A = this chain, B = another copy of it.
Amino acid sequence: MIKEFLMIPGPTPVPDSVLRKMAMPMINHRGKEFAQVLKNVTEKMKKVYLTESDVILLTASGSGGMESAVVNFLSPGDKAIFCVTGAFGDRWAKMGQVYGADVIRIDIPLGEGVTIDVLEDTLKKNPGVKAVYITHNETSTAITNDLSKVGEIAHRYGAIVAVDAVSSLGAIELRMDEWQLDVVVTASQKALMTPPGLAFVAVSERAWELYKSSKMPRFYFDLGEAKRMAVNGETPFTPAVSQVFAIDSALDILLSEGLENSWKRHKLLGKAVREGVKALGLKLLAKEEFASNAVTGVYPPEGILADELRRKVKERGVTLAGGQGALKGKIFRIGHIGYILDTDIIVTLSIIGETLKEMGYNVDPTLGVKRALEVFNEGTNS
């Protein structure tokens, strides 16, 4: 007998009550009942985005939403800045290339984030940039980029800002309207505690202006068509009905916890994991000032292979993620996003400690749990 702990940065564990919605019988996706659910989900998503802008639902992974943020706002030859802080930023830049944008990359060392100075410098050197693409939380390197000033700077240089908030929205502070963000992409399977299959794209008025002149080809990911259909509570194509039911219920859980409380919880989870891992003597991938509160990247001790550690930890019920891209096999990642509580962190750190010891690493395996508990107790009392 084993209990499973899914500690990866997505798909994340789904609460039982939400899973049960996944099993609801099918209905007509062009009928009144579905229209009402779609409307409810859209209204709740606006509260999570902290926006008055349109929120478009797509039946796709988060990467489909990212592609829509390229093809709906640019034309071939348009200059666009892509901030690359890891595999997902790199993916977005490649999408820009494939569709013929004039891609200006800002490549950041792994484990660090984009500073506002670097961004402004790049905008200054490249007049006429139409859009800045930036990852909010880069799961591959376990860092978070501060977005609070990005909108203001980009607008000053006449560019819109598109944000990959796939692994952040709902977990890490993001204020779309206040921060003047124009296109914000997210997906169902991270902080929103719903199985994968849905992407969401929130679009500002400034971005819709750019949409009018955009000439990249698009059909399935045409956001304007989706906006037109949404007026009548429909989607252009058959939606993933089950996930729409499920997220309607998952968003109730998130909003009843409260968005700011969820941000606080993730802040504490992130700190507890980082401190716990360090107490076990392990090195973090991300620089502290950029460290993500949704996922933590960790180097295994010398002489222990990351993927071997993951395999052994998995046998005890805890699933960790591996490294991506250049970091494949070099690190392991602990996801702590969505339906994750202090108890999950305690189990995870305990099993990592025990397994490391078993693999010959000389450490008191309880140090991680001990330190995490201190962090949780301080957090609860503060």
Contacts and interface: CB of A to CB of B under 8 A. Distances in A.
Interface of A: 4, 6, 8, 10-14, 19-20, 22-31, 59-64, 67, 94-95, 98-100, 187, 189, 195-197, 216-221, 236-243, 314, 319, 321-322
A61 B11 contact: no
A196 B240 CA distance: 5
A20 B23 contact: yes
A98 B67 contact: no
Given A60-B220, A195-B242, A217-B217, A25 B13 contact: yes
A25 B10 contact: no
A153 to B, nearest CB: 28
A33 to B, nearest CB: 10
Contacts of A195: 26, 240-242
A187 B314 CA distance: 33
Contact of A26 (B14, B64, B187, B220): B14
B99 A238 contact: no
Contact of A239 (B13, B99, B196, B217): B196
Given A98-B218, A217-B100, A319-B31, A240 B238 contact: no
B30 A322 contact: yes
Contacts of A13: 25-26
23 contacts: A4-B25, A6-B25, A6-B28, A11-B28, A11-B29, A11-B238, A14-B25, A23-B23, A31-B319, A59-B61, A59-B196, A61-B220, A61-B237, A62-B237, A67-B220, A100-B217, A195-B240, A195-B241, A196-B239, A196-B242, A197-B197, A197-B243, A240-B243
Contacts of A29: 11, 196
Given A60-B64, A63-B220, A64-B60, A11 B196 contact: no
Given A23-B22, A197-B197, A10 B218 contact: no
Nearest to A20: B23
A221 B319 CA distance: 29
Contacts of A27: 6, 11, 319
Contact of A220 (B14, B25, B64, B241): B64
A293 B319 CA distance: 46
A219 B28 contact: no
Interface hub of A26, A27, A100, A216 (most chain B Cβ within 10 A) = A26
B61 A239 contact: yes
The 6 closest A-B pairs by CB, nearest first: A197-B240, A61-B237, A23-B23, A11-B26, A63-B237, A22-B22
Nearest to A58: B60
A242 B118 CA distance: 42
A96 to B, nearest CB: 10
Nearest to A335: B28
A149 B164 CA distance: 47
A197 B59 contact: yes
A242 B239 contact: no
A321 B236 CA distance: 16
A8 to B, nearest CB: 5
A220 B62 CA distance: 10
Contacts of A23: 19-20, 22-23
A217 B11 contact: no
B4 A217 contact: no
B6 A238 contact: no
A34 B216 CA distance: 35
Question: Which has the most chain B C-beta neighbours within 10 Å: A8, A197, A216, A322?
Answer: A197
